[in-house]
Amino acid sequence: MNIPFLSFEPQHAPLRDAMTAAFSRVYDSYWYVLGEEVKQFEREYAAFNQVAHTVGVANGLDALVLALRVLGVGPGDEVIVPSNTYIATWLAVTQVGATPVPVEPDPATSNLDPARIAAALTPRTRAIMPVHLYGQACRMTEIMALATQHNLYVVEDNAQSQGAAFAGGLTGSFGHLNGTSFYPGKNLGALGDAGAVTTNDAALAHKVQVLRNYGSQQKYYNEVVGYNSRLDELQGALLRVKLPHLPEWTRQRQQVAAWYDQHLAGIPNLHLPAVAEGATHVYHLYVVHTPQRAALQQHLTAQGIGSLIHYPVPPHLQQAYQALGFAPGSFPIAEELANTCLSLPMWPGMTEAHVAAVADVIRAF
């Protein structure tokens, strides 16, 4: 059985007519940037994420950059980031001129460990960026309490976790400003690059709106040095077609994860994803850990089963971050997770037969 790492087919094939109708609507409107589609999508996504405001932007990285910029985080400031995130979280901090300060994750969940944050705080710390990695919500109650206690901003990186929750609150609704990504492979994916900032603060939302549009409210009058980072009308219209299906797609991802949990139980040296108490997981990725990662991946490939590594090199060991002076051993938990993680096929529409076939191949290995 050939099982790809990701197939869009079950999500996209049934929506073909609705998506092409949305395309035609935008095409015929003769209005392609910052119009009604983006406005409506922002309202609909805010309702979905249970926040007062959504501001559509060009991609997830920009969402994080604009959030930090609006909060005034910049040169001389330190921002707490996970040691094991996708590099975009760190890049956002660097791009506003601040310094990323890595904190190790809980190895069981791969998510930022709130108990380790306090030790990394200095008088220069301005913000904490929790990343709900792989789709599991971070322990936001503790993180928000710590932020309040130390007068810090929180910017959630919600790129992988639309619809996840901690203690009943949705990810992307806790922080002062939060970023998400609608990159095609994300749980809610556009047909190209797209992202959004979410917040409950009207004044901050307004500042993001100005900053994404050249720092301008009135055409050709610029109040601040802004960006061109707008969500396209076309992507807004297409995302509006997909958004109502996200809860059902999430339910299917959770069902696929439950099947994996069952079918992979008890295999020696194979660690399955753990979910923290109070957290929900929307399984953007189903990530296992094994010391025999390279051989297992080769074996899966040989049997026609896709897999990927998220991520092979932690940010502190990337060439891009050489100047920070970290070395192998600086963040041993992140390094161990990077050396042992393997993401198995995960997409809405996968069947139990697919999962059982993947599990059989792993068990045979």
Ligand X SMILES: Cc1ncc(COP(=O)(O)O)c(C=O)c1O
Binding footprint of ligand X on the chain (CB under 6 A): 59-61, 85-86, 88-89, 131, 157, 159-160, 181, 183, 193, 195
Quote the least distance from Cβ 221 to ligand X, whole Å: 29
Measured from the CB atom, is 243 or 267 closer to ligand X? 243
Quote the least distance from Cβ 229 to ligand X, whole Å: 10
Quote the least distance from Cβ 166 to ligand X, whole Å: 17
Nearest Cα to Cα of residue 147 among 124, 180, 125: 125
Measured from the CB atom, is 171 or 297 closer to ligand X? 171
Beta bridge partner(s), residue 347:
none
Quote the least distance from Cβ 185 to ligand X, whole Å: 8
CA distance 35 to 260: 43
Measured from the CB atom, is 132 or 240 closer to ligand X? 132
Measured from the CB atom, is 57 or 317 closer to ligand X? 57
CB neighbours (10 Å) of residue 5? Answer: 16
Quote the least distance from Cβ 158 to ligand X, whole Å: 8
Quote the least distance from Cβ 89 to ligand X, whole Å: 5
Measured from the CB atom, is 45 or 183 closer to ligand X? 183
326: phi then psi, degrees, rounded to nearest 5: -80, 160
CA distance 94 to 128: 14
| Radius of gyration of the chain, Cα coordinates, nearest whole angstrom | 20
Nearest Cα to Cα of residue 241 among 33, 10, 14: 14
Contact 159/189 with Cβ under 8 angstroms? no
The amino acid occupying position 290 is: T
Write b or e for each residue in 221-248: b if 16 or more Cβ atoms lie within 10 A of its Cβ, otherwise e: eeeeebbebbbbbbbbbbbbbbbebbee
Quote the least distance from Cβ 282 to ligand X, whole Å: 13
Q: Is 114 left (phi over 0), alpha (psi -120 to 50) or beta?
A: alpha
Measured from the CB atom, is 270 or 346 closer to ligand X? 346
Measured from the CB atom, is 85 or 290 closer to ligand X? 85
Q: Which residue number is nearest to ligand X in terms of Cβ?
A: 60
Q: Using CA of residue 351, residue 352, residue 355, residue 360, what is the dihedral sign?
A: negative
The amino acid occupying position 117 is: I
Measured from the CB atom, is 173 or 361 closer to ligand X? 173
Quote the least distance from Cβ 82 to ligand X, whole Å: 9
Look-up of token digits 């979910």: 275
Quick one: how far is CA 204 from the chain centroid?
A: 21
